[in-house]
Amino acid sequence: MLKIGDKAPQFCLEGLSADGEEKKICLKDLLAEKKDLILYFYPKDNTPGCTTEACDFRDRLPHMENGLVVGISKDSLISHKKFREKHNLNFILLSDPEHSAMEAYGAWGEKNMYGIKTMGCIRSTFIISKDGSINHVWYKVRAKGHANTVIEVMK
């Protein structure tokens, strides 16, 4: 697991820009925006918790003027497009089907749901500074209200 002060692991993933354009996006490209990066990993498009979290980030984006929000899941670009359009999402969505970025950030591991153990995405969020170091880490995030927590920490 990563901790505050660690260098953010590099990645390059296919995704959708904030405008919905398909493109490959790398961490170095995101850091070039000269904003703090709010990188969040979530399990699946269009599920209740993930939709709540995404819509909260969408609605609170104006309060994160110094931040760039990026969501990553293992879903395909087709799924991301539907998710983005259905919920009018206004931030970057990246596809990590091989869960390489998730593993690098400690956001992939064993989960226990109703006594059944599976491997999957562990809902996690990282605030990464312009220099690429991790400023804040949340693992095992509760979707509802998390965007407000991120805003408070960024103030």
CB contact at 8 A, 109 and 99: no
Its sign, for the CA torsion 155, 127, 63, 25, is positive
- Whole-prediction pTM: 0.94
Catalytically active residues, by annotation: 50
Query: Tell me, what's the pLDDT at 43?
Result: 96
Check whether 64 has a pLDDT greater than 90.
no
Asked whether 33 and 41 are in contact (CB, 8 A), the reply is no
99, pLDDT greater than 90: yes
CB 22 within 8 A of CB 16: yes
pLDDT at 154: 86
Q: Domain ranges for the chain, please list them.
A: 12-154
In tens, the pLDDT along 16-62 reads 999 999 999 999 999 998 899 999 999 999 999 999 999 999 999 88
Distance between CA atoms of residues 81 and 41, nearest Å: 17
Give the pLDDT score at 113: 78
pLDDT digits 0-9 by tens, 113-147: 788 899 999 999 999 999 999 999 999 999 899 99
Q: Say if CB 92 and CB 27 are below 8 A apart.
A: no
List, in sequence order, every beta strand (DSSP E) within the chain: 12-16, 22-26, 36-41, 67-73, 92-95, 108-113, 116-121, 124-128, 134-139
Say which CATH topology domain 12-154 has: Glutaredoxin (3.40.30)
